[in-house]
Amino acid sequence: MSDVEAQKEAAGIAACEVVKTGMNVGLGTGSTVKYTVIELGRRIAEEGLEIIGVPTSIATEKLALEVGIPLADLGDLEGLDVVIDGTDEFDGDFQLIKGGGGALLREKIVAQASASMIVVADGRKKVNTLGEFPLPIEITPFSWVETKRQLSILFATEGFIGDITLRRKKELGTVSCDGVEFPANEKGGVFVTDNGNVILDCHFGASIVDPIGLETAILSKAGVAQVGLFNNMCDAVYLADPAGVQILRKN
């Protein structure tokens, strides 16, 4: 296991300390929180932990069932006690960029239903200014080129400079999404989310100084399903580095 992977595992496991019997728990998506899901499964099997989980992606749902976590639909519960999820970046105000794994819409639905949001991360994810990681925007396939054009106009007005690219996956081949044919290119076929949408990745560099205002502006555009800015949601970060895991709490 690499040093970074060991840090991810340490953070993912450490965050499980917030989970107690009787809780409804949101289960995030990603390479760090997978260790949280595995650890919760172990505690259920070995320690008698009793929880109900709500997954944020098909991949997390599959893993949770494999490790024995009972699941429920979010709408069947009266909210969640906590969600534990990963992040692609977080700043000093605990604002996040998420969506590198393509689950941003479901992740935000689950996060807004949770009384508390705990983030697990390795040391690379802490930044002074958001945006070095490309900002994901999930959009509907219908007239996606027009949605991209409208966003380009918005970003130019706001002073953001950089490319906006349609996210692709490694596999080649055409993909039909909601009646729209996306041909393969040298980067592979189009990436389609669990919701049947596509993702635009915005390469602006570390320049997002007003994530709240930017989130509002992006969500005002028709065709946008969700944006990977998670503002005023995170309560604490379990941050792992070579020295161990530290808990950063929002004041």
Catalytic center residues: 107
In this structure, the number of other CB atoms found within 10 A of the CB of residue 225 comes to 18
SS3 content of the chain, % helix, strand, coil (to 5): 30, 30, 40
132 CB burial (10 A radius; 0-12, 13-18, 19+): middle
Per the CB < 8 A criterion, the answer to whether 231 and 211 are in contact is yes
Give the residue among 118, 150, 60, 122 at the shortest CA–CA distance from 234: 118
Structure tokens at 48: 């008698």
**175-177/180-182 β-pairing:** antiparallel
3-state class of 244 per DSSP? strand
- Where b means 16+ CB within 10 Å and e means fewer, 171-195 reads eeeebebeeeebeeeeeebbbbbee
